Structures are given as structure tokens and as C-alpha cells.
Chains A and B, each alone.
Chain A
Amino acid sequence: MGPLIPHELLSPEWNNVIALIIGVAFGYLMEASGFSSSRKLAGVFYGYDFTVLRVFFTAAVVSMIGILYLSKLGYLNFDDLYIQPTYVDSAIIGGVIMGVGFVAGGFCPGTSLCAAAIGKIDGMVFILGLMLGVVIFSEMFPWLEGTFNAHNLGGVTLEDTLGLSNEWTTAIFAIIAVVAFYGTTILGRYIRNVWY
């Protein structure tokens, strides 16, 4: 039963190997989806290309469905999955900064590595900016620590906050996803062609 390493079905040394395999696969799929193009990525914000929405929403919904079915079939212990703690202040401030950076730079951290890997200069410059931001944050951390750790809600899920079961949340999100895909397809017919 999974997860494999917490349940000692694989030794912890496999962590980095699995990360490498998943990373390679993830990079390949992102490049295959065209996510090394900053204009394609920024398109979801400007409304002329919704590939980002479709790919990531599909990935999220497929993951939710897969995890729940694996749990129900006894292959995965749902309670042993790691849930990132929610720090409200950090999430909001970081989200704003990330959103501005995404639209301005046309990349998120993962896709910038994809772009740099195929030799795109804008990807490389984005990575430099990312690292500079990390250094500045690290140096300023003593002053930011309070805000960084404020309002920790712990590993909350939608089930905890909304009272909806995981199954209902997944079903609702799947329906929203399909409606969003159809909606953006219709929208795409009315948007002028943008060369990118």
C-alpha cells in the first residue's frame, strides 16, 4: 500500500531517483505542451490562449480522481499523504508577487527551467531574477519571519473547511473543469489571432 517510502516499501534513497524520473517526465510534458513559450503562458492572462488552464486543471482533476480511486481500492493510504500547511498571509502575499511575476515575465519557476533548457534567453534571465529574489528574501528573512509564519492553519483541506467530502469536491471540480474547457473553446473563436 502507498505511499511507498513512508510505508517502507522503498527505501528513502529512492526519493532522489524518483524525483529525477518524475522531473524528466514533467519537463518533457511541459515542453511538449508548449510551456517553454512565455507568450503562450501569458496568454491565459491576456485571454488569447487557454492551454495553461486546460493542462493544469486536467492534471489536478486527474490526480484527485486517481488518488481517491487508489485509496478506495486499498493501494494508497490517503491519511499518509503530505498536505502542505496553509500560511494565509504568506500565501496571499506570495500569490500576488507570483501572479505579477508570471504575467510580467511570462514564466513560472518550473516553465522557466523548461525554457532555459531549450536555450531560451528569456527563460535564463527569468531564472536569474528568481535566484536574486530568493537571495533577497533570505537576507530579509529576519524581518519577514513574523509575516511568513503568521496564521498557520495547518494542513487543511476543502473537506475540513467546506465540510464537503473529497468525493463531492472532486466531482464538482471535474464538472467545473469540463465547463471551463468548453467555455474557453467557445471564447477562443471570438478572440483575434495573436501571433506568438
Chain B
Amino acid sequence: MKKRVLITRKRYIFLGFALVAAAVGLLFFDGLPDANRLQADQLLLKAMKKGHYINSDQLAEKIINGDPSLLLVDLRDSAQYAHYSLPNSMNIPYGKILNKDYVGYFDQDQFKVVLYSNDHLISEQAWLLLTSKNFSNLYVLEGGLNNFFSTIIQPKEPLATADRNEFERYNTRKAAGYYFGVPMPRTVSSGTSSSVSETGGILKGKKRKAITIRKKKKKKVGGC
């Protein structure tokens, strides 16, 4: 009887240590590197669908309408960001997108994140990296800022033989350009210097909106 009690006691001591060891082990185990990542075939499918692109016209419309679900991320370095950026965008340099301080802006389902840089190569790479980590709601500005400039800020006047839709689009882009700092004709004639190509005028004065990122919580159904 005494031997049986001793064996039971040793067994409980071992189990107690095993429980505590397993729990303490959690503090040191960061998980497998590939855990929670999107599988290669799923990533390829998403990339090929091209549903993650947003063109300059769509983005301009969202910015002008003040879409509250939009979060613009400028992936260029801070010097370029300070020189010119889209309204209410935030600067997360490409090399820091996986930094713990910034990853919360991507791992959330509250905002639609639009990534942009000068062209769309860097932003596409960033999109791939972040999507492979199973983050969603990420978009790439098609053609980057270069295309945004040539489309919205300095739209090309259509040929006289172009159809009506082309002219309407051109007029819409011109009107949008005023919002982004393109001087209106009367401003140019008075001699003030607010050329967008130099300073991005109006944009610098705009107040940046404060963004509070809530931790990603999906509504789940369940319970007793």
C-alpha cells in the first residue's frame, strides 16, 4: 500500500512538473516560421487574380470623398515622404513593414490598406510579403505615384477625335487634380507659386488624421 502511494505521489509530481514545463515552454516558443502563412498556391492565385490593384482614378475618388475605411501607406523613405505624399498617408519604409511597431497596421480588418511607392514594383513586393503572412485588405496603387501624377495631377488631354467618355474622364481628373494641389487657372494668373510638381502645396497643410488601430477581432458565432 505504501509503495503504491509512493508511486502515485511520484507520478503526480512528474505530471505537475510536466504541466508547468509545458506552460513555461510557451514563453520561449515563438512558433514555427511557416505557421499561419498563406500556402504558395493560394498566394499565387491571389496574385494572378489582380484584385488587389487600385487605379489612380479609384484612389483619387476615395480620397476626395474622405473614405473612412482607407489607410494609405507610403513605402518610400522619409525624405521622399516629406517632400510629397498623398493626403492622410502614413510613412512605413519598405524595409520596416514587418517591424513589430508597424505590423499592426497590416494585420487588421478595420481599414483597407493601399500601398504605394514611386512605381508599383516596391508596393507589389510589399503586398506579396504581407499577403504571404495571411494579412488581408491590402491593395497596391497601380503604377504608383508616377502613374498618379500622369493621370490625376497632369492628365493628358485627349485628342479631338476621342469619344465623349475620354473627355469626361479628363475633366474629372482635372477637377480631382485641384483637390491634390494643382493650381486652378485664377491662382496661376495671379502669379502665386503653388506648382504641385515642386511642393505639393495644399497637401502639406492638411492635417493628418489620427488612426487608431483596433486589434483584429472577427465576430464569431458559438458558445452555449
A182, B216: Cα distance in complex, Å:
39
Do the beta carbons of B20 and A72 come within 8 Å of each other? no
Q: Which of A25-33, A35-43, A78-86, A138-146 contacts B (4 or more CB under 8 A)?
A: A78-86
Which A residue's beta carbon lies closest to that of B221? Answer: A82
Q: Which of A100-108, A113-121, A171-179 contacts B (4 or more CB under 8 A)?
A: A171-179
Task: Report the bound CA distance from A6 to B16 in whole Å.
Answer: 34
Q: Which residue in B12, B23, B36 is a CB contact (below 8 Å) of A170?
A: B23
Between B12, B35, B216, B223, the greatest number of chain A beta carbons within 10 A of the residue's beta carbon is seen for B35
* Interface size counted on chain B using CB atoms at 8 A: 25
Residue of B at shortest CB range from A61? B19
Contact A77 B36 (CB under 8 A): yes
Inter-chain CA distance A71–B35, complex, in Å, is 8
Residue-wise interface mask of A (129-149) relative to B, using a CB-CB cutoff of 8 A (1 in contact, 0 not):
000000000000000000000
With A61-B23, A167-B26, A175-B20 as contacts: A73 and B220 at CB distance below 8 Å: no
Find out whether the CB atom of A82 lies under 8 angstroms from the CB atom of B222. yes
The reply to whether the CB of B209 lies closer than 8 angstroms to some CB of chain A is no
Most chain-B Cβ atoms within 10 A of its Cβ — which of A58, A62, A72, A81?
A72
Q: Contact between A72 and B220 (Cβ–Cβ < 8 Å)?
A: no
A174→B32 contact, CB < 8 A: no
Contact partner of A65 (CB less than 8 A), chosen from B16, B26, B32, B217, is B26
* Interface size, A (range): 20 to 34
- List chain A residues, Cβ under 8 A from B24: 171, 174
| Bound form: Cα–Cα A69–B35 in Å | 11
| CB-CB under 8 A for A174 and B30, given A73-B35, A80-B218, A84-B223 | no
Q: B-contacting residues of A (Cβ < 8 Å)?
A: 1, 6, 58, 61-62, 64-65, 68-69, 71-74, 77, 79-84, 155, 166-168, 170-171, 173-175, 177-178, 181-182
* CB pairs A–B below 8 angstroms (9 shown): A58-B19, A62-B19, A64-B23, A72-B31, A73-B32, A77-B36, A167-B26, A171-B27, A173-B23
20 other contacts beyond A167-B27, A181-B16, with CB at 8 A cut-off?
A61-B23, A62-B19, A65-B26, A69-B22, A69-B29, A72-B31, A72-B35, A74-B32, A79-B216, A79-B218, A83-B220, A84-B223, A84-B224, A166-B26, A171-B20, A171-B26, A173-B23, A174-B19, A178-B19, A182-B16
